[in-house]
């Protein structure tokens, strides 16, 4: 059964043998680093092996997918203003999705993604609050 790139920890090491030389990443601290911390560390290394354009784009795309996945999971756990949680049947129903989009609740999960309408709305509100 195929495993998602987001869930497979060895996908990156196996996809880029020139960078990782067939070795797994090793971390010395107790708390494991986040994916974005790992990518930043690889880009800032002295030998710049991780700074290949394909690797940068791959890492950015994977980081975006991880952010979206976590935001969607959080939004689905939160309740809708009608005091009923969102069920799988409601997500599959086109009418319910249209209603969520019409009420602008379907875009809330994109607040963490830069250049999305929800993100810029958040930034606009933050700047306007600073001006006041």
pLDDT of amino acid 65: 86
What pLDDT score was predicted for residue 16? 86
Q: What is the pLDDT of residue 31?
A: 92
Which residues does residue 84 pair with via DSSP β-bridges, in sequence order?
Answer: 80
Helix (H), strand (E) counts: the chain: 7, 0
Q: Provide the Cα torsion 10, 13, 14, 19; round to 10°.
A: 180
Separation between Cα atoms, residue 91 and residue 2, nearest integer Å: 24
At residue 37, the pLDDT reads 92
Q: What is the pLDDT of residue 127?
A: 93
**Coil, strand or helix: which one is 3?**
coil
Q: What is the pLDDT at residue 84?
A: 62
> Euclidean distance between the first and final Cα of the chain, in Å?
55
Torsion angle of C-alpha atoms 53, 57, 10, 50, degrees rounded to 10: 30
* pLDDT value of residue 74: 73
Ranges of the chain whose pLDDT falls below 50 = none
């Amino acid at each position: 059964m195929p495993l998602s790139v987001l869930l497979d920890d060895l996908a990156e090491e196996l996809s880029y043998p020139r960078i990782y030389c067939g070795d797994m990443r090793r971390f010395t601290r107790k708390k494991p680093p986040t994916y974005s911390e790992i990518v930043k560390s690889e880009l800032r290394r002295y030998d710049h092996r991780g700074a290949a354009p394909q690797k940068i784009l791959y890492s950015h795309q994977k980081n975006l997918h991880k952010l979206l996945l976590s935001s969607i999971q959080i939004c689905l756990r939160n309740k809708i203003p009608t005091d009923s949680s969102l069920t799988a049947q409601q997500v599959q129903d086109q009418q319910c999705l249209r209603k969520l989009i019409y009420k602008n609740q379907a875009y809330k999960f994109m607040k963490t993604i830069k250049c999305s309408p929800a993100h810029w709305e958040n930034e606009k509100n933050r700047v306007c609050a600073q001006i006041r």
